[in-house]
Amino acid sequence: MKPTGRLIISPALDGVENMSLDQTLLESTQASGEPMLRFYRWTPATLSLGYFQKAADRQLHTSSQTCPLIRRSSGGGAIVHDHELTYSVCLRTAGAIAKSNAALYDTVHLSIQKALAMQNVTVTLHPDPGAASPSDPFLCFQRRAKGDLICGTDKVGGSAQRRLKNALIQHGSLLLSQSQFAPELPGLEELCGHKINADDLIKDLAAEISRATGIVFRPSPGPSAGELQRARVIASEKFASGQWLNRR
């Protein structure tokens, strides 16, 4: 019998709410062992820093100066979350896929590749670029890492992970269309010449991830009352805190 997990499709939330809910679901998976797959959007458009980036470096990107700023728990470059689809998947690390960073990246990114092909969009996985650059660009979508999703020559998708003792979260962004707050980054709509149906993409992607992982993700009405309460605590203590935001 295949293992089951929860599929949560969230309404558009602000950055603090989205990051707090991701951490809450990771804690739930750590406690119960139940896998989680979540899809979400952002409002308003938000600039998120990778865990290791300096808050002052947001001044490097003038187009996003009016966007609210948050810091993720995962690494990588800054992301302007606007016209995109974001996913997060929480798994116990005991599973074969979750034991390897690269295996989970490739599993999800290949699923995205197949789901996009259903909308006549071709993307490839970036090969190993070799040694990392000593000075990566500020924006994540101007960087390249093994397994990133590439359309033509432009990066349109990437992911990052955070691990606890016996569970992990992988979350990632898929750039659907260009944002006025990051005009240097074309999205899939500009690159492929037609609009991406986000609802169909979510349905197809959930099915592909289920097939690839062997987990039956069943639609859930959303986080429980207890999870929502825990997310509010995390928001107050962490993601809405100036101490967290300015820790670097």
Chain length of the chain? 248
* Alpha carbon distance 171, 68 (integer Å): 20
Q: Is the pLDDT of residue 46 over 80?
A: yes
Q: What ranges do the domains of the chain cover? A: 4-131+138-242
* Residue 50: pLDDT over 60: yes
* CATH number given to 4-131+138-242: 3.30.930.10
The pTM score is 0.94
The catalytic residue among 67, 90, 140, 192 is 140
pLDDT in tens, 180-218: 999 999 999 999 999 999 999 999 999 999 999 999 999
Q: What pLDDT, on a 0 to 100 scale, did the predictor assign at position 133?
A: 60
8 Å CB contact between 73 and 248: no
Cα Rg for the chain, rounded, in angstroms?
17
- Give catalytic status of residue 140 as yes or no: yes
How much is the average pLDDT of 235-239?
98
Q: Does the structure show a pLDDT above 80 at 244?
A: yes
- Give the residue with greater pLDDT, 96 vs 244: 244
Asked if residues 79 and 51 have their Cβ atoms less than 8 Å apart, the reply is: no
Q: Write down the pLDDT at residue 99.
A: 61
Write b or e for each residue in 154-165: b if 16 or more Cβ atoms lie within 10 A of its Cβ, otherwise e: bbbbbbbbbeee
d(CA 150, CA 87): 17
- Higher-confidence residue of 247 and 129: namely 247
Q: What percent of the chain has pLDDT over 70?
A: 96
pLDDT digits (tens, 9 = 90+) for 97-140: 666 677 899 999 999 999 999 999 999 999 977 655 657 899 99
Mean pLDDT of the region 87-97: 84
- Between 49-58, 59-68, 93-102, the lowest mean confidence (pLDDT) is in 93-102
92 alpha-carbon distance from chain centroid: 18
**pLDDT band, residue 96 (cuts 50/70/90):** low
Give burial (CB, 10 Å; 0-12/13-18/19+) of 79. Answer: buried
Q: What are phi and psi of 146, to 5 degrees?
A: -55, 130
Q: How far apart are CA 66 and CA 174, in angstroms?
A: 22
